[in-house]
Amino acid sequence: MTSINREHRYSFIVSSIPAGGGHRTAALFRCVDCNEIHTENIPSGRKFNAEAYVNSTRDKGWSVHLTDRRAVKCPTCARKPKPRNDVDSEIRKVIPMAPPAPPIREATAQQRVSIRGLLDKHFDDAVGCYLDGYSDAKIAETVNVPRVIVERIRESAYGPIKVNPDVLAAKTEAAALATELAALKERVDALVARVDKALAA
């Protein structure tokens, strides 16, 4: 059997096969599952018509695609049901749902008292910001409760956070630097006064 179609343009191979002591040209369709071969005669002297050979093969019960050899199946294999674990099965295409989120662990009565005490001490509800570097997360870690519990209690009893924590941290750092600068200036002034006194003696 000699192939004369080297381009693999179609789902079949055009080959010269033995016939009656000679040879004839035929389109060969091979089943991808069982390797059964079906041939369609290609008369010499006629215009090559790939679709005609595909349609003729379909009429004989084959599942055939014009260009995809992986889709060629004999009548027996074409009737087989698709396996449930087939990679193309619609069942495998279903996107699994994410597991439900675990329920939030509620705070005990004592924990709620502790949260309110820390909020009273470290949250300025008039300004809408935490003091002393505190935050919802820090209180939640201190009391050992989920952060959302602290957020709920603060929102309902003390109000929302109105000042950006990063801005507040920057202001706090600036104030600390200003204090350090004032102290340094006092030291410089005192040192200058000592030098002036020593020079005047």
Greater confidence (73 vs 105) lies with: 73
CA 36 and chain centroid, separation: 43
- Return the domain boundaries, the chain: 2-80, 105-163, 165-201
Question: What confidence score (pLDDT) does residue 1 get?
Answer: 45
* Top-confidence residue, 164 or 64: 64
Which helix H or strand E contains 2, and what residues bound it?
Answer: strand 2-3
Residues 17, 103: Cα–Cα separation, whole Å: 72
Q: Looking at mean pLDDT, say which of 7-11, 37-41, 169-173, 174-178 comes out highest.
A: 37-41
135-173 residue pLDDT tens: 999 999 999 999 999 999 999 999 998 877 676 667 777
The yes-or-no verdict on residue 2 having pLDDT over 90 is no
pLDDT in tens, 4-27: 444 457 888 888 888 777 788 888
Q: Average per-residue pLDDT in the chain?
A: 83
pLDDT value for 32: 93
138 burial type by CB count under 10 A (0-12 exposed, 13-18 middle, 19+ buried): middle
